[in-house]
Structure 1
Amino acid sequence: MAQYHRNKWHNITEISTTTPFLLLAAWLFFRSSSRTYQWLLNSRLAGNYIRAFREQRAIPLHAKVISIFLLWLSISYSIFWVVSHTWIKVLLMGIAIGVSVHILSYNTLVKNRKE
């Protein structure tokens, strides 16, 4: 029974942010269906992120913070409690650093404050 439980935890997928998937969906819909692409752009939840990225190549500050926090939370969990091989731990750390640098390399979209 203990072996089954161990294997179950090794099959856990990483927690990933939705931004890359939204951008991929937008790109695919843009290439295949203008009606679906317009629906995605007009979506209350996803539309603002996609428009900001396409028009300004920028990611909102709160999306950056949440993305990087969840990335490091999931990678840290994997490194300390899931993975036993040192080379995989080093690989995961390298991936986390690379993705963090990539996210931070984009401009930050800050909402205009009305004063």
Structure 2
Amino acid sequence: MSRSPSPTPARPLWVALGFVLCGLGVLGLLLPGFPGTVWFILAATCFSRGDPRWEAWLLSRPVVGDLIRDYRAGLGMPRRAKWAACLCITLAVGFSVGRIPVLAGQVAWVLVGLAGVLFITRRVPTRPDGRSGA
């Protein structure tokens, strides 16, 4: 689902932003509790606006390409990935909420975590583990 590239002056900026987002995606693959997929999805969008060749390159990556295609096709997440995401959110909120000095901030942080878990469990479609839409 690629878009036609932006006018010439903005194209290099879209490509540069795509690479920055890819870097964040790689960090997300390496760091527990830091999401990776969302950054790759955003990078693919930037590449589609800047240079479709880079979008094609990203989509050809073994794991990342499948995740992006599945997202674009509306196939959702495997059940195990949903459990892992919810567990990471819960642990991140649980370990960090005590570091927020203001009660209102703590409550807000817990609500943000709860909203994330609810979004994943209620709005993101579930597909069987190990099945890709590619």
With CA pairs under 8 Å and 6+ residues apart, which has the higher RCO, 1 or 2? 1
In the alignment, structure 1 residue 38 sits paired with structure 2 residue 56: yes
- Sequence identity of aligned pairs in percent? 23
Which sections of structure 1, spanning at least 5 residues, go unmatched?
1-14
- What secondary structure, in the 3-state scheme, does the structure 2 residue paired with 1:106 have? coil
User: What is residue 97 of structure 2 aligned with on the other side?
Assistant: 79
Deviation at residue 76 of structure 1 after TM alignment: 0.8
Matched residue count: 98
The Cα RMSD (Å) is: 1.9
Which 4+ runs in 1 deviate beyond 6 A? none
Deviation at residue 56 of structure 1 after TM alignment: 2.6
Deviation at residue 57 of structure 1 after TM alignment: 4.1
User: For each residue in 1:86-109, what CA deviation from the matched residue of structure 2 results, as whole angstroms up to 9, or x when unmatched?
Assistant: 111101011011111222211112
Q: What one-letter code is carried by the residue in structure 2 that aligns with 1:61?
A: R
Deviation at residue 62 of structure 1 after TM alignment: 2.4
Say which one has the larger Rg: 1
Aligned-partner Cα distance in 1 for 2:101–2:115: 22
User: For each residue in 1:32-61, what CA deviation from the matched residue of structure 2 results, as whole angstroms up to 9, or x when unmatched?
Assistant: 221111111111121111111111341222
TM-score scaled to structure 1, two decimals?
0.75
Which sections of structure 2, spanning at least 5 residues, go unmatched?
1-32
User: What is residue 99 of structure 1 aligned with on the other side?
Assistant: 116
